[in-house]
Structure 1
Amino acid sequence: MSRQQRDALDAMLRSAPRSETPPTPEEQRSGFAAAVTRPVPEGVVTRRTVLGGRTALELEPAEVSGQGRLLYLHGGGYVIGSPDTHAGLVGELARRAGLRALSVDYRLAPEHPFPAAVDDGLAAYRELLATGTDPRDLVVAGDSAGGGLSIATLLAAREAGLPQPAAVVVFSPWVDLTLAGGSIRSKEGADPIFTEADVRAYADLYVGAGDRAHPLASPVFADLTGLPPLLVQVGANEVLLDDAVRLAGRAGADDVEVTLEVGPGLPHVFQHHYGRLDEADAALDRAARFLAAHLGTGHPGTDRPEPAH
């Protein structure tokens, strides 16, 4: 993999201007959209739809295999981001996995604080099942706050008595809104994007005076028993490194099949930089293979019979 690519990306991310006064959520949203939005991959068709009462973006690659469906929850600190900002990334994952994808426009803070995003994630998941999607044909993925929301959605589904999907993939998941991970401080200089203050500001907007250790806000403190096979990918150069590491450890302790990948010298959600960073393309390929490998096989959390052989 290319050290030159990693160094160039790090320099580019560090060159982003920082405001002397905290930007408003609206300013953050427009700036984020301008900075990260990439075009949908060639051969992937998109259409607007509604899922769980929220608008969603459906992405269908030219080549799909079987009945598999991907539910994606975008990142952005629960404050910024949308299916449009992540259409390139989701389209790439869907294309590589050969899956139809649905990216949900869940409600954002501070207008809609916790647990609005979890409620929307659960509503989307519930509707997919209610309209005939077999959980063995369903996988879930998300990045950053959307990674934490993916885990929280599956916890809420478990509590609601719903079957679990076939697998879940999270990129640089934010799963501890108490900011207890040591890397929040130790990796601040290495992280070209975030400081501890940045992450704390998002937590303030999402949870406010609420319980930041609530399992659906900070799934690293949850009992993860019964969740499906989990792939966690994270960069070594990010303040959320320990969120990913501790999530994987918690999953393992709760008897969940889990794979943790830590990419040296890589920033937060480095997968966004597919096509210009070799490690991003390789990570998306591994994530796609992970999802495809678990589709249709079922797992103990589904409470559904195994398919006949």
Structure 2
Amino acid sequence: MTTVLGPLASAWCPEYPTEDHDWQDLDIPPPYESIIDKSHAPSDSDVPFCTDLRTRKSSTDLVRAAAAASSSAHLLTTAIHEMLVMASFGAHQVRTVATGIYDLAKVGAARPSWNYGLHMGLHFIRSNLIFQGTSIPRVRLLSKAAGASSPPAHVKVTEVSFRVDRHVLLRFEALGSAWRQGKKAGQYPTVPPETAAHWKDLVREYELEGEWLEDQTPSPQSVTSSWLPSWLTSPSSPPPPPKRRPQKVIYYLHGGAYIVGSPRLYRIFTGRIAKETGARIFCVQYRLAPENPFPAALHDAFAGYLYLTQPHHPAFAGLPITHDPVDPKDVILMGDSAGGGLAMALLNYLNLYLRTPTGAHQVPLPGGSVLLSPWVDLTFTSHSWRSNAQYDWLPGNACDIHSPVSENVPHPVYMYLYGQDCSRPVSYLSLLSSSQNTKHDAANVVRDTAERFVRHPLVSPIFAEDLHGLPPMLIQAGDAEVLRDESLALAYKYDTQNTGHPNNQAHKSWVRHELYKDMVHVFQAMSWLETSKVALENVRRFVWEIESGGPMPPPPDQGMCVVDSHVPGI
């Protein structure tokens, strides 16, 4: 029975351990061999001792058998539960398909340019995100399975890992404390009191994994006809010159609401970006909530950027260096959804938190940034969260950060803020937030703390007090997505604090916002859409603008997007 149930449970339920169960975890006395004094070796004449030893070993075998039986019973229960979940999941798919077909038959596709396939696909994703059996481990398991596909042809993937010394890494923050005094950044510490105990207990060193992606498509060669006599063939023309590749490196931060996702899951998409732009791509597997709440993802994103530009820094000791340092001006920071928000938070971190007492940047800013459907406002106050909820695949019930998105999934904002404590009672969370509260106002304490926390400039980067001095930025969003308005607000804020600033000389800061007709959240990853191809072509255009040192006129109107450029002199 165990040989049948083991693979079944481990295939669907990540909570079930796939490795051999350690029976000592069951609070069973240890085997006799571990408690005897090994310095007292039994002799041949010591018969009573040997007999007692054999008896105790026999008792140990009985204990192990009991542990195995208990483990089998737990395994059986887990397998039955997961089979029920799978059955419910199958019934949910039937209902999802039926309701989708009914909607199409009744009112047609939700948006004018959508075909039936896109309508049904978005309906399918939206429905499964709110399935009552959804849990973080299951979503991660399915994401891992989805990410098992290979990258596009001729894209080389090189996996790397590097060890981070957390104490050395955070010296940058300590040096920047003097600069932050009296500013909004000084009112928002990077480690809030709610998670201070968690960060105090963390180990000093930890290892991060990442990967490089590089397009190695061979240059086209001239073709000659070998079956004709040489005197009938004309001299072969020289092969065309190889396609010029930019010197820029794209540092990509994946999305996933800070709770799921990985570079491996994004390989198909980041591979497409590598092929389209010709630039090398560097990705890092930042730590996810709820196991690692804020600011774990931010610190890992910063560690990846520092490793990219200064691999010989003392914060990275113990592992061999895999690349030469990359000049910060040759780095383009890029991300989608939560990864776009994290990219923007990293820019704020470098610009507002990591400065010397005289105001100089401790770590230079990158040369540019590309944000795809960025999640920069975790307060969910944008009007598009209501007006576009019926179109986008993101669940519309996410607007209330104080309520779970489904039965088994707390709200991502609470997981990001409170970590694994997010599923604790409200009274417990209130104790984390305040030591002077009573039971009757615990809920208000939690709500007030969370609502204040989400306005942290490194959590919701749109609330940063100053965006002046940031590098050129390209923002892409769909006009049918729930994050539409916050992308527009970010472009407007960047424009007012950079493009029109009197110190903005020689086009150092400029922003271009592209709003794509009838498109949803992170449509750029939907490779079968023509609009996705146009969006990545515009990303390539932006990379070459950064490569050439200045903006070009807006791309031609293709009837797919509205381009709003804020560029001095253009």
So what's the TM-score if we normalise by structure 2?
0.49
Match among 110, 113, 128 for residue 290 of structure 2: 110
Contact 1:14/1:193 (<8 A) preserved: no
**2:519 — aligned with what?**
266
**1:238 — aligned with what?**
481
Q: Return closer, same or farther for 1:153/1:20 CA change in 2, 3 Å cut-off.
A: same
Q: Return closer, same or farther for 1:110/1:124 CA change in 2, 3 Å cut-off.
A: same
In the TM superposition, what are the counterparts of 1:187-226 in structure 2 within 5 Å?
187-197=388-398, 200=401, 201-208=411-418, 210=450, 211-222=453-464, 223-226=466-469
**1:189 CA drift (Å):** 1.1
Instruction: Give the AA of the match of 1:54.
Output: L
- Residue by residue over 1:112-161, the C-alpha shift from the partner in whole angstroms, topping out at 9 and shown as x without a partner, is 11111110111111122213211121111000000000111122122322
Question: What percent identity do the matched residue pairs reach?
Answer: 34
Secondary structure at 2:334 match in 1: strand
Secondary structure at 2:259 match in 1: coil
- Alpha-carbon distance in structure 2 between the residues aligned to 1:78 and 1:116: 10
Gaps of 5+ in 2: 1-110, 165-206, 218-243, 312-324, 355-360, 402-410, 419-448, 499-508, 552-570
Secondary structure at 1:71 match in 2: strand
- Alpha-carbon distance in structure 1 between the residues aligned to 2:121 and 2:399: 19
Instruction: Give the AA of the match of 2:463.
Output: F
Pick the structure with greater CA Rg. 2
Contact 1:37/1:86 (<8 A) preserved: no
Contact 2:302/2:346 (<8 A) preserved: yes
Instruction: State yes or no: 1:28 paired with 2:139.
Output: yes
Which structure has more RCO (C-alpha within 8 Å, separation ≥ 6)?
1
Gaps of 5+ in 1: 300-309
**2:424 — aligned with what?**
none
**2:380 — aligned with what?**
179
**2:533 — aligned with what?**
281
**1:197 CA drift (Å):** 2.0
Moved more, 186-195 or 261-270: 186-195
Instruction: State yes or no: 1:12 paired with 2:121.
Output: yes
- Runs ≥4 in structure 1, deviation > 6 angstroms? none
The two structures, once aligned, show a CA RMSD in angstroms of: 2.4
Instruction: State yes or no: 1:120 paired with 2:300.
Output: yes
In the TM superposition, what are the counterparts of 1:86-105 in structure 2 within 5 Å?
86-105=266-285
Secondary structure at 1:228 match in 2: coil
- Alpha-carbon distance in structure 1 between the residues aligned to 2:489 and 2:497: 12
- Residue by residue over 1:49-104, the C-alpha shift from the partner in whole angstroms, topping out at 9 and shown as x without a partner, is 12564100210111672532110000000001100111111111122111111111
Instruction: Give the AA of the match of 1:57.
Output: E
Instruction: State yes or no: 1:146 paired with 2:398.
Output: no
**1:199 CA drift (Å):** 8.0
**1:194 CA drift (Å):** 2.6
- Higher helix fraction: Structure 1 or Structure 2? 2
- Alpha-carbon distance in structure 2 between the residues aligned to 1:33 and 1:188: 27
Contact 2:214/2:281 (<8 A) preserved: yes
- Alpha-carbon distance in structure 1 between the residues aligned to 2:215 and 2:394: 31
- Alpha-carbon distance in structure 1 between the residues aligned to 2:115 and 2:515: 14
Q: Return closer, same or farther for 1:111/1:199 CA change in 2, 3 Å cut-off.
A: farther
**1:57 — aligned with what?**
211
**1:294 — aligned with what?**
546
Contact 2:246/2:547 (<8 A) preserved: no
Moved more, 65-74 or 81-90: 65-74
- Alpha-carbon distance in structure 2 between the residues aligned to 1:21 and 1:43: 41
How many residue pairs are counted as aligned between the two chains? Answer: 297
- Alpha-carbon distance in structure 1 between the residues aligned to 2:113 and 2:497: 40
- Alpha-carbon distance in structure 1 between the residues aligned to 2:386 and 2:462: 18
- Residue by residue over 1:3-51, the C-alpha shift from the partner in whole angstroms, topping out at 9 and shown as x without a partner, is 6665522321212343542622111222344567764111110011125
Q: Return closer, same or farther for 1:50/1:35 CA change in 2, 3 Å cut-off.
A: closer
Contact 1:141/1:170 (<8 A) preserved: yes
